[in-house]
Amino acid sequence: MGQRELSGAMWGRVVIVAGIGTILEWFDYYCFSQLAGTIEAVFFPSENAMMQALSFWGIFAIGFVVRPLGALLFGHIGDTVGRNACLLISILCMAASTVLIGVLPTYNTGRYSAGVAAPVLLALLRMVQGLAMGGEYGSAIIYMSELARPSMRGKFVALLQGCVNVGMILATGLVMLLQNNMSEQAMLEWGWRVPFLAAFGTALIGAVLRRGMPEPHAFLAAARRAGRPSVAGSMIEEGEEGEEGEDDADVEIASAGSGLTDKSAEALRSGLAASEPAAANATVLMGWEEGAQSGKAPVGHHGQGQGHGHGKDLSHHHTPLMRLLSTNLLGLVLHICFMAWVSGAFYTTVSWLAKDLNHYGYSLVSTQGILVCSMIPNFLGLATMGAAIDAGLRVLWSNAALALAGSALGFAVFSGVSVSLGAAWGLVALFHFVIGLAQANVALPCTRIYEPLQRTTGFSLGFNIGYGVIGGLSPFAVTAIQTSLPEGDRGYAAAIWLMALGAISVAGSFGLRLYAPRLSKPYVAKLE
């Protein structure tokens, strides 16, 4: 078939398809945290406010703790069947569990109650959501980073991360609309269900749009070299070079499917063979080509061998997880450390702080307004860092600097928000700008720690242990630290937690400089 780049219309569809799952994911999760007071009363009635809060944040954290399991499940699908199949299945799982939360019985409120069974069912559905989340966001980042031109990858990945903000703004707007137009009793009886039921429409649109989307060339080429042409796809078109003077990645267009017929598999082999020189030029940048051709771990990624493989034969490892653990375990650990600070900072600010601000006498509308408006400087931070990465920023150094600066700023932010409403507006906005810089700084570089056939598994696992476990447990950890501090020092609880995470991120930055020296150089966006 003829060669062509993705058209403008197809690129628009790719961005929408990759982003809509992210929007749904964060719409649901932010609705849950924004409705904290209502859900506590509906599912965890207790005379002890602190125990009620710990119960709520414990259920909140369950959805994050299981995300690494979702990363393994959906990462395996993404690395063996195809990126698009992974995105389609994960959004359907997310939608089903979200809608079911919306029809759960309560503990003892309203017409439909089930006693202790209600929080148990809520915990189970949060686990299903966590599994879906484990596959959704990481897969979307991989998909965008492989499909975009090298000269634009930083910007496109940052744009996808900005979809988090869209989901959070929509969630907060809907919750504010409900809370300001319904009585407290109505919210307890049925109003809290509306945001979860609203996810059905978004998921349906996303599922329809995700059918027949293109698979990245890097993945299909790596699958062919590994002798696995029967990955998702039935119609193959070779990509072509991008703008003159750029080593832009080729793109293979493939419609989603469960496998290939003999005829289409042969077409895949022929098409990829024709584009092999371009693929070699792309993949050799990270040293993946030698390992892919020989069945050994590639040399040159960090000086000796990929991860702990050191050139040993990997042909007997058929699963992405086993390849990851045998060749790149240290890379996974450093990935988690690298993003520790931003994981904790983001979730502490958007989840724990949303509830904590109410303790200072600010109105619910004011605190919701602070957090919604702070998404604007957060997006500016994302866009700024995305452009800087495309311009050649050295991401390992910038991550260490952001972790140190953010840790110091945290003491001013979390102690200063109690001074006045104006101080809360300004400090939270400033902190979210720094968080936006750090979010964009970690995403794209960490995808290049992994070779294509372990990339979805590795990145999703590292990302979800970082954001999912560290980030998801942060509100619980900060609340627990508060209980151990004197009353006058409780405002420092979040800053203490983030300072510890900042030290881990600095260590991760220096560790990656030794383990993967290519990531310490400019223009990491051009690495395949």
Helix (H) or strand (E) holding 322: helix 320-327
Higher pLDDT among residues 346 and 20, named by residue: 346
At residue 510 the predicted structure's pLDDT band, cuts being 50, 70 and 90, is very high
Structure tokens at 393: 């920023």
Structure tokens at 320: 């992405």
Q: Among the listed ranges 18-22, 26-30, 192-196, 237-241, which one has the minimum average pLDDT value?
A: 237-241
> Is the pLDDT reported for residue 239 higher than 50?
no
Angle, vertex CA 203, rays to CA 202 and CA 208, nearest 5: 105
The mean pLDDT value for 280-294 works out to 40
The CA distance from 102 to 122, in Å, is 10
Which segments of 193-250 does DSSP mark as H helices, in order? 194-197, 199-209, 217-225
Does residue 182 contact residue 215 with C-beta atoms inside 8 Å?
Answer: no
Q: What angle, 0 to 180 degrees and rounded to 10, lies between the N-to-C axes of helices 49-65 and 8-34?
A: 150
pLDDT for res 312: 44
At residue 297 the predicted structure's pLDDT band, cuts being 50, 70 and 90, is very low
Mean pLDDT of the chain: 78
pLDDT for res 281: 38
The CA distance from 20 to 17, in Å, is 5
**Exposed, middle or buried, 481 (CB in 10 Å: 0-12/13-18/19+)?**
middle
Tally of CB atoms within 10 A around 302 = 22
Closest CA to 368 of 19, 14, 20, 37: 37
Q: Among the listed ranges 112-126, 288-302, 345-359, which one has the minimum average pLDDT value?
A: 288-302
> Is the pLDDT reported for residue 313 higher than 70?
no
Structure tokens at 359: 């303790």
The mean pLDDT value for 211-226 works out to 75
The mean pLDDT value for 221-245 works out to 52
Does residue 459 contact residue 404 with C-beta atoms inside 8 Å?
Answer: no
At residue 9 the predicted structure's pLDDT band, cuts being 50, 70 and 90, is low
At residue 5, what are phi and psi to the nearest 5 degrees?
-90, 170
pLDDT for res 48: 62
**pLDDT (tens digit per residue) in 426-455:** 999 999 999 999 999 999 999 999 988 889
Does residue 357 contact residue 370 with C-beta atoms inside 8 Å?
Answer: yes
pLDDT for res 346: 92
Within its chain, how far is the Cα of 298 from the centroid? 27
Does residue 70 contact residue 129 with C-beta atoms inside 8 Å?
Answer: no
Determine what percent of the chain is predicted with pLDDT higher than 70: 78
**pLDDT (tens digit per residue) in 101-126:** 888 888 776 677 677 788 888 889 88
pLDDT for res 453: 87
**pLDDT (tens digit per residue) in 76-99:** 888 888 787 888 888 888 888 888
The mean pLDDT value for 485-499 works out to 86
Residue carrying the six token digits 């319904």 = 182
Assign a CATH topology to domain 8-213+333-526: Growth Hormone; Chain: A; (1.20.1250)
> Is the pLDDT reported for residue 164 higher than 60?
yes
At residue 231 the predicted structure's pLDDT band, cuts being 50, 70 and 90, is low
At residue 409 the predicted structure's pLDDT band, cuts being 50, 70 and 90, is very high
**pLDDT (tens digit per residue) in 244-264:** 333 444 443 333 333 333 443
Higher pLDDT among residues 6 and 111, named by residue: 111
The mean pLDDT value for 126-155 works out to 87
SS (H, E, C) 82-148: CHHHHHHHHHHHHHHHHHHHCCCCECCCCCCECCCHHHHHHHHHHHHHHHHHHHHHHHHHHHHHHHC
Residue carrying the six token digits 């939360």 = 101
> For 235, how many CA atoms within 13 A lie in the half-sphere containing its CB?
8
At residue 230 the predicted structure's pLDDT band, cuts being 50, 70 and 90, is low
**Per-domain boundaries in the chain:** 8-213+333-526, 215-297+310-315
Torsion of CA 186, 374, 474, 23, to 10 degrees: 70
Higher pLDDT among residues 317 and 489, named by residue: 489
Non-local CB neighbours of 316 within 8 Å, separated by 6+ positions: none
